[in-house]
Every structure is written in structure tokens, then in C-alpha cells.
Amino acid sequence: MSLALRTFSSVKDANTALQASGTRYLGGGTLVIRAANEGDVSVSSLIRVDDPGLSRIAVTGDKVRLGASVTMAAIAGHPGLAALAPAARAVGGPAIRNMATVGGNLFAPAPYGDFAAALLALDATVVTDDGEMPVETFLASRDTSRAIVTAVGFSLPGAESFRFLKVSRVKPKGVSVLSIAALLQRTADGTVTSARIALGCMADRPIRALATEKALLGCKLTPQEIAPALAAAGEGISPITDPVASAWYRAQVLPVHLGRLLLS
């Protein structure tokens, strides 16, 4: 292997170095070193930033800011982030969670990127030196993004309003068949007033279930009332096919698991 690694103390200097061709950013290593081990010769140079601020978790009231180098293990173990712990624990086994970062998960291709699906449901903001943008916009343009992600920010959901499900064939941990993150606001009688639902493995990156979100408005979470929302779950999806499941299978089981999550 011939990978030149350079370490910078500031994101600004690293951003400049990242513009060179063949250069990738090294976070936890679970994507880029994996690619290099697999023989991806497009990677010739790595850069990283050792600014401790990138590993900081800040919870102020209901506002959360996660540095891009915060690991899944750090999120899963943080007492103020219990609502997100199931999504962080869904990533890999213990060793991977000690390495995999928030920033890296935003770039993880399906079937990976379960945590990014949670961030999409939470309408998180992605922060770079160039400014901030909604995670939905970021995900759509991530292939051409050349600015280092420094943090993500979002409002902490209430325990009742945020739900997350990862489906895998191997228990307790396996690659995603699919993942679903749902942020639901409901009135006292249980009527849905807003819904934001993100799906993993239903495209090459997390996407929103826009038709389902719309169909859920005004519904109570009963089998009868959510039936139209489940029927709409397939709109706009383009599931991946991999050794774990075919696109057809993923599309078939999506409404089943979405229904279970909504009725749970």
C-alpha cells in the first residue's frame, strides 16, 4: 500500500490540501481504508485533522451539535443523546462504533449510512467551512462535495416523537436490509400533525418517504388509518441490490417494517 497521510491542525489548511486529485479525508478509516484495502487505486493521499473540536458533543437545551469526528460509540454512550442511541448502536459492531464517525456516515453508500438516515429524519444541518446546509441538500450533492464536514446540528427530538428501525438478517448485528427513521409530531389525541420519514437502502443514499409523510398527516397511528401511507411507501424509491437482499425484496418488505415502526 502506498498512501501518504498528512495531518493538519486546522480544517482550513486541510480543505486546501483536499483539492488535490487522489486525495481523500481520513476520519475513522472504516470507509477510506476499507476502499484502499479493497484495491481502490484512486486513493493515493490521505489527510486528516487532529483538532479536538471535531470530536466535541455539545447539548444545549434541545440543540445538539456533533463534531464530525464524534464516533457512534460516543453518541450511544452520551446521557443527553438517548433518543439517538438506537441509531448509533445500529452501526456495525463495537469496534466499528469506536471508529466510525458522524461525518463519515454522511458519505457511507447504501447499505451503510444508517445514522445518516436518522439525521435526515431530524432535518439536521451539515456544517462545513463554506457554511451550513440542510442534510437533505448535502446528501444529494455529496459526490461532488470537496469541503470537509466539521459538524452536524439538529434539535433533539422528544422520546415519543422519534423512532428508528434497522432491519438485518443476522442478529444482533448485520448489514441493513433497510433502515427507517421517523420524526412524528402528534396532538394529544394522537393525530399526526407533521411527519418526516427517512429511508436507508431505498436508494444509494438515505432518502425521504415524501408520499408517506404526506399521507400520514391527519391520521392516527392505527392499522386502518396508516394503510394509505404504507401503500405510498414505494413511491420514489430505488432500492439497492446486494448480497443481503434484492431491490425487489427490499421494496416488498418496506411497507411491512414501516407499518411495524409506526404502530410500535
Q: Is 111 in the site for other proteins (CB under 8 A)?
A: no
3 is written with which cell numbers? 498512501
String of b and e for 142-158 (b: at least 16 CB within 10 Å)?
Answer: beebebbbbbbbbebbe
Q: DSSP letter at 147? A: S
Using rule CB under 8 A, residue 212 touches other proteins:
no
CB nearer other proteins, residue 173 or residue 186: 173
Q: Kindly tell me the burial class for residue 59, based on how many C-beta atoms sit within 10 Å of its own C-beta (0-12, 13-18, 19 or more).
A: middle
38 touches other proteins (CB under 8 A) = yes
Report DSSP state, residue 73. Answer: H
Among 14, 70, 92, 239, binds other proteins (CB under 8 A): 92
Considering only 78, 173, 186, 220, the residue that binds other proteins (CB under 8 A) is: 173
Phi first, then psi: give them for residue 167, nearest 5 degrees.
-110, 125
Among the listed ranges 59-67, 88-96, 131-139, 144-152, the one in contact with other proteins (CB under 8 A) is: 88-96
Is the Cα dihedral 203, 206, 210, 214 positive or negative?
positive
Backbone angles phi, psi at 172, to 5 degrees: -85, -10
Which three-class secondary structure state does DSSP give residue 84? helix
Neighbours of 8 (CB within 10 A): 18
Stretch that binds other proteins, among 23-31, 101-109, 186-194, 241-249 (CB under 8 A): 23-31
99 lies in the site for other proteins, by CB under 8 A: yes
Nearer to other proteins among residue 91 and residue 181 (C-beta): 91
Interaction of residue 167 with other proteins, rule CB under 8 A: no
Q: Does 21 bind other proteins (CB under 8 A)?
A: no
Interface with other proteins, residue 16, by CB under 8 A:
no
Please choose, out of 96-104, 134-142, 145-153, 159-167, the segment that lies near other proteins by the rule CB under 8 A. Answer: 96-104
Closest CA to 155 of 180, 192, 179, 185: 185
Is residue 33 a contact point for other proteins (CB under 8 A)? yes
Name which of residues 42 to 71 contact other proteins (CB under 8 A). 46, 48
Q: Counting every residue, how long is the chain? A: 264
List residues binding other proteins (CB under 8 A): 1-5, 26, 28-30, 33-34, 36-38, 46, 48, 73, 92-96, 98-99, 172-173
